[in-house]
Amino acid sequence: MITATATPFLRNRLIRDAIGRAIYEVMKEDNSVHLFGEGSLVKQHYDAPLIEKDFADRVHTLPISEDGDLNFAVGASLLGVRPVIDVITSDFLYRCMDSIANTAAKLNFVNSPGEKPKTIVIRSEFLTVGPTTGQRPEAIFCHIPGLNVVIPSTPRDAYGLMLTALKTRGVTIFFEDRMIADAETRREDRDTEDGRFLGKAIAFGHAAFRRESSQATLTICTYGLMRQVVEKALDVQEALPAVAFDLIDLRTLYPIDWGTLALSTKKTGKLLIIEPDVQYGGVGAEIAATIAENNPVKVARLGGPRQTIPASSYLRNQSMPTEEEVLRAIRHEIHDPRA
Protein backbone atom coordinates (compact mmCIF):
# COMPACT_ATOMS: atom_id res chain seq x y z
CA MET A 1 0.00 0.00 0.00
CA ILE A 2 1.26 3.45 -0.91
CA THR A 3 1.28 5.90 1.95
CA ALA A 4 1.42 9.64 1.72
CA THR A 5 4.81 11.14 2.57
CA ALA A 6 4.75 14.18 4.77
CA THR A 7 7.00 17.15 4.09
CA PRO A 8 9.41 17.00 7.01
CA PHE A 9 12.19 18.17 4.70
CA LEU A 10 10.91 21.71 5.03
CA ARG A 11 12.24 21.58 8.58
CA ASN A 12 15.74 20.59 7.51
CA ARG A 13 18.08 23.24 8.78
CA LEU A 14 21.65 21.96 8.75
CA ILE A 15 22.58 22.84 5.18
CA ARG A 16 20.65 26.11 5.30
CA ASP A 17 22.43 27.12 8.51
CA ALA A 18 25.80 26.21 7.01
CA ILE A 19 25.14 28.39 3.96
CA GLY A 20 24.09 31.27 6.22
CA ARG A 21 27.25 30.85 8.31
CA ALA A 22 29.46 30.91 5.21
CA ILE A 23 27.82 34.05 3.87
CA TYR A 24 28.08 35.70 7.28
CA GLU A 25 31.78 34.86 7.54
CA VAL A 26 32.50 36.38 4.12
CA MET A 27 30.34 39.44 4.84
CA LYS A 28 32.49 40.11 7.91
CA GLU A 29 35.65 40.42 5.85
CA ASP A 30 34.30 41.69 2.52
CA ASN A 31 31.90 44.61 2.54
CA SER A 32 31.18 44.25 -1.17
CA VAL A 33 28.99 41.21 -0.45
CA HIS A 34 25.32 42.26 -0.50
CA LEU A 35 22.22 40.08 -0.42
CA PHE A 36 19.27 40.68 -2.74
CA GLY A 37 15.96 38.93 -3.10
CA GLU A 38 12.27 38.84 -2.42
CA GLY A 39 11.64 39.09 1.30
CA SER A 40 15.38 38.97 1.76
CA LEU A 41 15.57 40.58 5.19
CA VAL A 42 12.71 38.47 6.52
CA LYS A 43 14.47 35.36 5.26
CA GLN A 44 17.65 36.30 7.13
CA HIS A 45 15.54 36.88 10.24
CA TYR A 46 14.56 33.22 10.23
CA ASP A 47 17.52 31.60 8.51
CA ALA A 48 20.58 33.68 9.31
CA PRO A 49 19.80 35.94 12.28
CA LEU A 50 23.45 36.96 12.60
CA ILE A 51 23.31 38.50 9.13
CA GLU A 52 20.15 40.35 10.08
CA LYS A 53 21.74 41.53 13.31
CA ASP A 54 25.10 42.69 11.93
CA PHE A 55 24.51 43.44 8.27
CA ALA A 56 20.87 44.45 7.83
CA ASP A 57 22.05 47.41 5.74
CA ARG A 58 23.54 44.98 3.24
CA VAL A 59 20.39 42.91 2.85
CA HIS A 60 18.05 44.31 0.20
CA THR A 61 14.45 43.29 -0.16
CA LEU A 62 13.41 43.59 -3.80
CA PRO A 63 9.98 43.32 -5.46
CA ILE A 64 8.57 40.08 -6.87
CA SER A 65 10.26 40.61 -10.23
CA GLU A 66 12.93 37.93 -10.33
CA ASP A 67 14.26 38.65 -13.80
CA GLY A 68 14.52 42.37 -13.18
CA ASP A 69 15.98 41.77 -9.71
CA LEU A 70 18.72 39.62 -11.14
CA ASN A 71 19.55 42.14 -13.87
CA PHE A 72 19.53 44.80 -11.14
CA ALA A 73 22.11 42.84 -9.15
CA VAL A 74 24.22 42.39 -12.29
CA GLY A 75 24.12 46.16 -12.73
CA ALA A 76 25.34 46.58 -9.15
CA SER A 77 28.17 44.13 -9.81
CA LEU A 78 29.45 46.44 -12.55
CA LEU A 79 30.52 48.82 -9.78
CA GLY A 80 32.12 46.16 -7.61
CA VAL A 81 29.24 44.76 -5.55
CA ARG A 82 29.35 40.97 -5.04
CA PRO A 83 25.68 40.13 -5.05
CA VAL A 84 24.10 37.03 -3.58
CA ILE A 85 20.69 36.84 -5.23
CA ASP A 86 18.21 34.45 -3.67
CA VAL A 87 15.42 33.46 -6.03
CA ILE A 88 14.07 30.97 -3.43
CA THR A 89 12.61 27.91 -5.16
CA SER A 90 14.31 26.74 -8.33
CA ASP A 91 11.23 27.29 -10.50
CA PHE A 92 11.99 31.00 -10.34
CA LEU A 93 15.26 30.33 -12.12
CA TYR A 94 13.17 29.80 -15.24
CA ARG A 95 11.63 33.21 -14.58
CA CYS A 96 15.06 34.77 -14.68
CA MET A 97 16.53 32.63 -17.43
CA ASP A 98 17.07 35.78 -19.51
CA SER A 99 19.01 37.65 -16.86
CA ILE A 100 21.02 34.53 -15.98
CA ALA A 101 21.80 33.19 -19.46
CA ASN A 102 21.90 36.43 -21.45
CA THR A 103 23.16 38.95 -18.92
CA ALA A 104 25.02 37.34 -16.01
CA ALA A 105 26.59 34.40 -17.84
CA LYS A 106 28.07 36.70 -20.49
CA LEU A 107 29.37 39.27 -18.01
CA ASN A 108 32.87 37.92 -17.49
CA PHE A 109 33.26 36.92 -21.13
CA VAL A 110 33.20 40.56 -22.09
CA ASN A 111 35.88 42.38 -20.18
CA SER A 112 37.76 45.56 -20.67
CA PRO A 113 41.51 45.68 -20.06
CA GLY A 114 42.18 46.20 -16.38
CA GLU A 115 38.63 45.36 -15.39
CA LYS A 116 38.19 42.77 -12.67
CA PRO A 117 35.95 39.78 -13.36
CA LYS A 118 32.70 39.86 -11.41
CA THR A 119 31.48 37.52 -8.69
CA ILE A 120 27.78 36.74 -8.58
CA VAL A 121 26.06 34.01 -6.57
CA ILE A 122 22.52 32.95 -7.42
CA ARG A 123 20.88 30.91 -4.65
CA SER A 124 17.99 28.59 -5.18
CA GLU A 125 16.43 25.52 -3.59
CA PHE A 126 15.08 22.16 -4.74
CA LEU A 127 11.88 20.90 -3.18
CA THR A 128 10.48 18.41 -5.70
CA VAL A 129 6.91 18.73 -4.42
CA GLY A 130 4.86 19.77 -7.45
CA PRO A 131 4.80 20.76 -11.11
CA THR A 132 6.32 24.17 -10.41
CA THR A 133 7.38 23.76 -6.81
CA GLY A 134 11.09 23.13 -6.65
CA GLN A 135 11.93 21.50 -9.98
CA ARG A 136 15.44 20.36 -10.81
CA PRO A 137 16.81 22.49 -13.64
CA GLU A 138 20.52 21.90 -12.87
CA ALA A 139 21.35 20.24 -16.21
CA ILE A 140 20.12 23.28 -18.12
CA PHE A 141 22.57 25.53 -16.30
CA CYS A 142 25.46 23.10 -16.85
CA HIS A 143 24.90 23.62 -20.57
CA ILE A 144 25.38 27.40 -20.45
CA PRO A 145 28.96 28.69 -20.72
CA GLY A 146 29.78 31.19 -18.01
CA LEU A 147 28.04 29.49 -15.10
CA ASN A 148 29.26 27.31 -12.24
CA VAL A 149 26.72 24.84 -10.87
CA VAL A 150 27.01 23.76 -7.24
CA ILE A 151 24.91 21.20 -5.37
CA PRO A 152 26.30 20.31 -1.94
CA SER A 153 25.04 17.19 -0.19
CA THR A 154 26.34 17.88 3.32
CA PRO A 155 26.38 20.92 5.60
CA ARG A 156 30.17 20.90 5.63
CA ASP A 157 30.30 20.98 1.84
CA ALA A 158 27.60 23.64 1.71
CA TYR A 159 29.70 25.84 3.98
CA GLY A 160 32.94 25.23 2.10
CA LEU A 161 31.44 25.62 -1.36
CA MET A 162 29.62 28.84 -0.47
CA LEU A 163 32.90 30.31 0.81
CA THR A 164 34.42 29.49 -2.57
CA ALA A 165 31.44 30.77 -4.55
CA LEU A 166 31.74 34.16 -2.85
CA LYS A 167 35.46 34.37 -3.55
CA THR A 168 35.50 32.92 -7.05
CA ARG A 169 35.46 35.20 -10.06
CA GLY A 170 32.41 34.07 -11.92
CA VAL A 171 28.71 33.41 -11.75
CA THR A 172 27.62 30.50 -9.59
CA ILE A 173 24.22 28.86 -9.37
CA PHE A 174 24.21 27.54 -5.82
CA PHE A 175 21.51 24.96 -5.17
CA GLU A 176 20.26 23.96 -1.76
CA ASP A 177 18.67 20.51 -1.66
CA ARG A 178 15.92 20.87 0.94
CA MET A 179 15.16 17.15 0.95
CA ILE A 180 18.49 16.11 2.45
CA ALA A 181 17.35 14.90 5.84
CA ASP A 182 18.94 16.41 8.93
CA ALA A 183 18.14 13.27 10.87
CA GLU A 184 20.24 11.19 8.49
CA THR A 185 23.14 13.63 8.28
CA ARG A 186 26.18 12.10 9.92
CA ARG A 187 28.15 13.93 12.53
CA GLU A 188 31.29 14.12 10.39
CA ASP A 189 29.33 15.79 7.59
CA ARG A 190 28.30 18.75 9.74
CA ASP A 191 30.12 22.05 9.62
CA THR A 192 29.97 22.62 13.36
CA GLU A 193 30.52 20.48 16.41
CA ASP A 194 30.01 21.63 19.99
CA GLY A 195 30.04 25.23 18.78
CA ARG A 196 33.31 24.77 16.89
CA PHE A 197 33.44 25.58 13.18
CA LEU A 198 34.82 22.76 11.09
CA GLY A 199 34.09 23.95 7.59
CA LYS A 200 36.82 24.96 5.17
CA ALA A 201 36.72 26.34 1.65
CA ILE A 202 36.26 23.62 -0.97
CA ALA A 203 37.51 24.35 -4.47
CA PHE A 204 35.09 23.91 -7.35
CA GLY A 205 35.66 20.83 -9.49
CA HIS A 206 36.71 18.61 -6.61
CA ALA A 207 34.43 15.65 -6.06
CA ALA A 208 34.41 13.78 -2.75
CA PHE A 209 34.85 10.04 -2.26
CA ARG A 210 32.07 9.14 0.15
CA ARG A 211 33.30 5.57 0.01
CA GLU A 212 36.53 4.37 -1.44
CA SER A 213 38.16 0.98 -1.61
CA SER A 214 41.16 -0.40 -3.46
CA GLN A 215 39.01 -3.51 -3.98
CA ALA A 216 36.11 -1.55 -5.50
CA THR A 217 34.51 -3.16 -8.55
CA LEU A 218 31.90 -0.49 -9.18
CA THR A 219 32.08 3.30 -9.24
CA ILE A 220 28.86 5.00 -8.26
CA CYS A 221 28.63 8.67 -9.11
CA THR A 222 25.90 10.89 -7.70
CA TYR A 223 25.13 14.32 -6.25
CA GLY A 224 22.79 16.23 -3.98
CA LEU A 225 19.97 14.40 -2.29
CA MET A 226 20.77 11.14 -4.08
CA ARG A 227 23.98 10.76 -2.10
CA GLN A 228 21.97 10.06 1.04
CA VAL A 229 19.70 7.61 -0.80
CA VAL A 230 22.66 5.77 -2.30
CA GLU A 231 24.41 5.54 1.05
CA LYS A 232 21.33 3.95 2.58
CA ALA A 233 21.17 1.47 -0.27
CA LEU A 234 24.87 0.67 0.10
CA ASP A 235 24.41 0.03 3.80
CA VAL A 236 22.01 -2.72 2.80
CA GLN A 237 24.11 -4.01 -0.08
CA GLU A 238 27.30 -4.18 1.90
CA ALA A 239 25.83 -6.88 3.99
CA LEU A 240 27.29 -8.87 1.10
CA PRO A 241 30.99 -9.38 1.82
CA ALA A 242 33.65 -9.12 -0.87
CA VAL A 243 31.87 -6.40 -2.84
CA ALA A 244 33.32 -2.94 -2.46
CA PHE A 245 32.33 0.34 -4.05
CA ASP A 246 33.66 3.77 -4.81
CA LEU A 247 30.97 6.36 -4.16
CA ILE A 248 31.72 9.74 -5.73
CA ASP A 249 29.74 12.81 -4.72
CA LEU A 250 30.28 15.39 -7.48
CA ARG A 251 29.50 18.47 -5.34
CA THR A 252 29.94 20.76 -8.35
CA LEU A 253 28.32 19.79 -11.66
CA TYR A 254 30.27 22.51 -13.42
CA PRO A 255 33.18 22.44 -13.26
CA ILE A 256 33.06 18.67 -12.97
CA ASP A 257 35.86 16.54 -11.52
CA TRP A 258 36.77 14.38 -14.50
CA GLY A 259 40.04 13.38 -12.87
CA THR A 260 38.40 11.65 -9.93
CA LEU A 261 35.86 9.94 -12.18
CA ALA A 262 38.63 8.70 -14.47
CA LEU A 263 40.77 7.53 -11.55
CA SER A 264 38.01 5.48 -9.99
CA THR A 265 36.59 4.03 -13.20
CA LYS A 266 40.07 3.03 -14.36
CA LYS A 267 40.17 0.83 -11.28
CA THR A 268 36.62 -0.52 -11.38
CA GLY A 269 35.87 -0.53 -15.12
CA LYS A 270 32.23 0.15 -14.31
CA LEU A 271 30.30 3.35 -13.66
CA LEU A 272 26.77 3.70 -12.36
CA ILE A 273 25.45 7.26 -12.42
CA ILE A 274 22.53 7.98 -10.12
CA GLU A 275 20.86 11.34 -10.51
CA PRO A 276 17.86 12.96 -8.83
CA ASP A 277 16.90 14.90 -11.98
CA VAL A 278 15.05 13.83 -15.13
CA GLN A 279 17.46 11.34 -16.71
CA TYR A 280 16.75 12.38 -20.32
CA GLY A 281 19.24 15.03 -21.35
CA GLY A 282 20.55 15.18 -17.82
CA VAL A 283 23.98 15.59 -16.29
CA GLY A 284 24.35 11.79 -16.19
CA ALA A 285 24.20 11.64 -19.97
CA GLU A 286 27.17 13.99 -20.25
CA ILE A 287 29.17 12.02 -17.69
CA ALA A 288 28.30 8.68 -19.31
CA ALA A 289 29.25 9.85 -22.78
CA THR A 290 32.48 11.54 -21.76
CA ILE A 291 33.68 8.61 -19.65
CA ALA A 292 32.71 6.00 -22.25
CA GLU A 293 34.31 7.96 -25.09
CA ASN A 294 37.62 8.14 -23.32
CA ASN A 295 37.88 4.99 -21.22
CA PRO A 296 37.05 1.30 -21.56
CA VAL A 297 34.33 1.63 -18.95
CA LYS A 298 30.86 0.13 -18.90
CA VAL A 299 28.42 2.88 -17.99
CA ALA A 300 24.85 2.78 -16.72
CA ARG A 301 22.44 5.45 -15.52
CA LEU A 302 19.57 5.68 -13.13
CA GLY A 303 17.55 8.88 -12.97
CA GLY A 304 14.04 10.23 -12.79
CA PRO A 305 11.35 9.80 -15.45
CA ARG A 306 10.79 12.62 -17.94
CA GLN A 307 7.61 13.51 -16.17
CA THR A 308 6.28 16.63 -14.50
CA ILE A 309 6.51 16.34 -10.73
CA PRO A 310 3.01 15.56 -9.40
CA ALA A 311 1.79 17.56 -6.43
CA SER A 312 0.21 14.52 -4.79
CA SER A 313 2.25 13.47 -1.83
CA TYR A 314 1.32 9.88 -2.72
CA LEU A 315 3.34 10.14 -5.90
CA ARG A 316 6.15 12.40 -4.85
CA ASN A 317 8.74 9.70 -4.36
CA GLN A 318 8.37 8.53 -7.92
CA SER A 319 9.97 11.61 -9.44
CA MET A 320 13.45 10.36 -8.68
CA PRO A 321 15.10 7.00 -7.94
CA THR A 322 13.99 5.42 -4.67
CA GLU A 323 16.25 3.52 -2.31
CA GLU A 324 14.82 0.24 -3.68
CA GLU A 325 15.52 1.24 -7.28
CA VAL A 326 19.03 2.31 -6.39
CA LEU A 327 19.60 -1.00 -4.62
CA ARG A 328 18.29 -2.92 -7.63
CA ALA A 329 20.53 -0.95 -10.00
CA ILE A 330 23.60 -1.60 -7.88
CA ARG A 331 22.81 -5.31 -7.62
CA HIS A 332 22.30 -5.44 -11.37
CA GLU A 333 25.73 -3.92 -11.96
CA ILE A 334 27.47 -6.38 -9.68
CA HIS A 335 25.46 -9.33 -11.03
CA ASP A 336 23.81 -9.96 -7.72
CA PRO A 337 21.05 -12.52 -8.33
CA ARG A 338 18.66 -10.45 -6.20
CA ALA A 339 18.66 -7.64 -8.79
Partner 1 sequence: MRSGMRSTIPEHSPHEMTALDLYQQMLLVRVLEEELQTLCDTGEGSDMHFNRGQEAIAIGVCAALQPTDFTVTHHRMIAHAVAKGVPLYPLVAELLGKADGVNGGMAGEMHLRHPASGFMHSFQLVGTALPVAAGLAWAAKYYQKIDAIVAVFCGDAATSNGQFHEGMNLAAVQKVPLLVICENNGLAGNVRSPVYLPTKTVAERASAYGIRAVTIDGNRVDEVFRVAKEASAYVREESQPFMVECNTTRISRHKQGQGDLRTKEEIADLAKRDPLLYEEKRLGLGLQEKASLLAATRALVQEVVTKVRAAPAPRFPTP
Q: Which residues bind partner 1 (CB under 8 A)?
A: 32, 34, 62-63, 65, 67-69, 71-81, 98-99, 102-103, 106, 109-112, 114-115, 145
User: In angstroms, what is the minimal distance from the CB of 290 to partner 1?
Assistant: 14
User: In angstroms, what is the minimal distance from the CB of 77 to partner 1?
Assistant: 8
User: In angstroms, what is the minimal distance from the CB of 32 to partner 1?
Assistant: 7
Q: Which is nearer to partner 1, 114 or 195 (CB)?
A: 114
Q: Which is nearer to partner 1, 80 or 305 (CB)?
A: 80
User: In angstroms, what is the minimal distance from the CB of 23 to partner 1?
Assistant: 17
Q: Which is nearer to partner 1, 75 or 131 (CB)?
A: 75
User: In angstroms, what is the minimal distance from the CB of 104 to partner 1?
Assistant: 10
Burial per residue of 229-243, b for 16 or more beta-carbon CB atoms within 10 angstroms, e otherwise: bbbebbeebeeeeeb
Q: Which is nearer to partner 1, 69 or 177 (CB)?
A: 69
Q: Which regions of 151-305 does DSSP assign to beta strands (E)?
A: 170-177, 192-193, 196-197, 208-211, 218-222, 245-249, 252-254, 270-278, 298-304
Name, in order, each residue with C-beta under 8 angstroms of 318's C-beta and a sequence gap of 6 or more. 305, 310
Q: Which is nearer to partner 1, 83 or 224 (CB)?
A: 83
User: In angstroms, what is the minimal distance from the CB of 106 to partner 1?
Assistant: 6
> What's the N-to-C CA distance of the chain in angstroms?
22
Distance CA 235, CA 210 (A): 12
Q: Which is nearer to partner 1, 188 or 293 (CB)?
A: 293
The packing angle between helices 14-29 and 40-47, to 10°, is 110
Q: Which regions of the chain does DSSP assign to beta strands (E)?
A: 33-38, 59-62, 82-89, 119-126, 147-150, 170-177, 192-193, 196-197, 208-211, 218-222, 245-249, 252-254, 270-278, 298-304
